[in-house]
Chain A
Amino acid sequence: MTRLRRLLRLLPALLLAAALPAAGQGPPPGTLLPELPLPDPGDESARSYLGVTGPSGFTAAAIAADVLLIEIFSMYCPHCQREAPMVNEVFSRIEADPRLRGRVKMIGIGAGNTPFEVDYFRKTYGVRFPLFPDPDFRLHKRLGEVRTPYFIGVKLKSPQGPLVYCSRAGGAASAGELMKLLLSGSSLEPKESP
């Protein structure tokens, strides 16, 4: 009976522990990426990078890559602003690595951002991977209304479909650490540490 009482006293803590990770979480690893309809990226170099044809839209799963890294960001989010150079560095490292280039692709989704706002963010930070506006939070809702910045890693060629293997908030200390975290579990882990 005493033990039962003790367990009951622990109940609020257990409930708290169970509830917290669910709030604002993205698609959990091991699940399929929800369908993400994306508009035409607008220019030929972005179409060519993604391996899609314009001018109609496409889904994220149709991107020509083994692994897709999705950043959910907002130009209004100070943390996204601070991490932008680091995310750019991850992109540069991927493009500079012959083992990863062409196999790992990156896109960004501007949660609540208009095309003008996404373009402003892109120009300010010189972002070289395609960024897509999501002015009405349509894609953001499908991805679990996560806080920004947030990263999702997807194995696009998994037999089950586009399989999420990584789903995490930002906050890495360096580009090397972020790259390691984002590619861990993708079967394309970087060979070198930062």
Chain B
Amino acid sequence: MRTVRPGLALLVLLLAMPAPGGAQRLKDLLYDPGPLPPVDSRLKVRPGETAPDFVLPSIRREKIRLSSFRGRLNVVLSFVPAAFTPVCSDQWPGYHLARPLFEEHEATLLGIAVDNLPALHAWTREMGDLWFPVLSDFWPHGKVASRYGLLRRDGTAERALVFIDKKGIIRDILVSDINKRPPLEQVAAALKKFGKR
């Protein structure tokens, strides 16, 4: 009787397993850091102040300057802690769906993470063709997050939303528990303060 080759057996077993469907792909790549301290930084800006300007590279190979939106659009900065982590991987696809909500209030969104461009590119590919720029605050590491007081001690950013009006003034800041996604109604309520188109 022929004996089974372990390598072949392993291949057969792997092939016999249910293949992950399209629905599973991004989630299969995620790293779950487990529960983290909800907030681990101290804000350096507050509502009523002029938002610190910055220039950051986007995954579409553009340089985005915050002040370039002045006089044209309200801006929402969405800082997320890290690519390929569970909550962050849901948040931007939700904002992708919620585009009309932002546009209703003449607002654009800038997604910001401290990861480098290749990682952000790979991570966001599975989210679809996001309508908003995804910016890398990688080098100098977390410089923008730090300027706003949103850089955590482990080098990741807070899960935070900064609402900046057309004059460049900060209207609202939401720093969420890093372990949870801020409910969309909170975003809607803050956008409402910009007024409608």
Q: How far is the CA of A2 from the CA of B14 in the complex (A)?
A: 24
Contact across chains for B185 and A79 when beta carbons are under 8 A apart: no
Contact across chains for A77 and B90 when beta carbons are under 8 A apart: yes
Contact across chains for A148 and B93 when beta carbons are under 8 A apart: no
Contact across chains for A81 and B97 when beta carbons are under 8 A apart: yes
Asked whether A21 and B18 contact (CB < 8 A) given A6-B3, A13-B13, A77-B90, the answer is: yes
A1 within 8 A of B: no
Contact across chains for A116 and B188 when beta carbons are under 8 A apart: yes
Q: How far is the CB of B137 from chain A (nearest CB, A)?
A: 22
Interface residue ranges, B against A (CB under 8 Å): 3-4, 6, 9-10, 13-14, 16-18, 20-24, 26-27, 90-91, 93-94, 96-98, 101, 126-128, 181, 183-185, 188
Contact across chains for B9 and A78 when beta carbons are under 8 A apart: no
Q: How far is the CA of A75 from the CA of B95 in the complex (A)?
A: 10
Q: How far is the CB of B122 from chain A (nearest CB, A)?
A: 15
Partner of A149, one of B9, B23, B91: B23
Question: Beta-carbon contacts of A158-175 to B below 8 Å, as 1s and 0s?
Answer: 000000000001110000
Q: How far is the CA of A14 from the CA of B14 in the complex (A)?
A: 10
Asked whether A147 and B24 contact (CB < 8 A) given A13-B9, A13-B13, A75-B94, the answer is: yes
Other contacts beyond A14-B13, A171-B21: 20, CB < 8 A:
A13-B6, A20-B17, A75-B94, A75-B184, A76-B93, A77-B93, A78-B126, A78-B128, A79-B23, A80-B23, A81-B96, A81-B97, A114-B183, A116-B183, A116-B185, A117-B183, A117-B184, A120-B184, A150-B23, A170-B22
Partner of B127, one of A20, A78, A117: A78
Q: How far is the CA of A148 from the CA of B94 in the complex (A)?
A: 14
Interface of A is mostly: helix
Interface size on A, residues (CB 8 A): 36
Contact across chains for A17 and B13 when beta carbons are under 8 A apart: yes
Contacts of A81 in B (CB 8 A): 93, 96-97, 128
Query: Which chain B residue has the least Cβ–Cβ distance from A78?
Result: B93
Contact across chains for B24 and A114 when beta carbons are under 8 A apart: no
Question: Beta-carbon contacts of A1-36 to B below 8 Å, as 1s and 0s?
Answer: 011001001100110110011000000000000000
Contact across chains for B17 and A17 when beta carbons are under 8 A apart: yes
Q: Name the interface residues of A112-151: CB closer than 8 Å to any CB of B.
A: 112, 114, 116-117, 120-121, 124, 135, 147-150
Q: How far is the CA of A9 from the CA of B5 in the complex (A)?
A: 10
Contact across chains for B27 and A147 when beta carbons are under 8 A apart: yes
Contact across chains for B94 and A76 when beta carbons are under 8 A apart: yes
A82 within 8 A of B: yes
Contact across chains for A75 and B97 when beta carbons are under 8 A apart: yes
Contact across chains for A74 and B128 when beta carbons are under 8 A apart: no
Query: Which chain A residue has the least Cβ–Cβ distance from B126?
Result: A78
Contacts of A6 in B (CB 8 A): 3-4, 6
Q: How far is the CA of A148 from the CA of B21 in the complex (A)?
A: 11
Contacts of B94 in A (CB 8 A): 75-76, 117
Contact across chains for B128 and A82 when beta carbons are under 8 A apart: yes
24 A-B residue pairs with CB within 8 Å: A3-B3, A9-B6, A13-B9, A21-B18, A75-B94, A76-B94, A77-B90, A78-B26, A78-B127, A79-B22, A80-B23, A81-B96, A81-B97, A114-B184, A117-B94, A121-B97, A124-B97, A135-B183, A147-B23, A150-B23, A169-B24, A170-B22, A171-B21, A171-B22
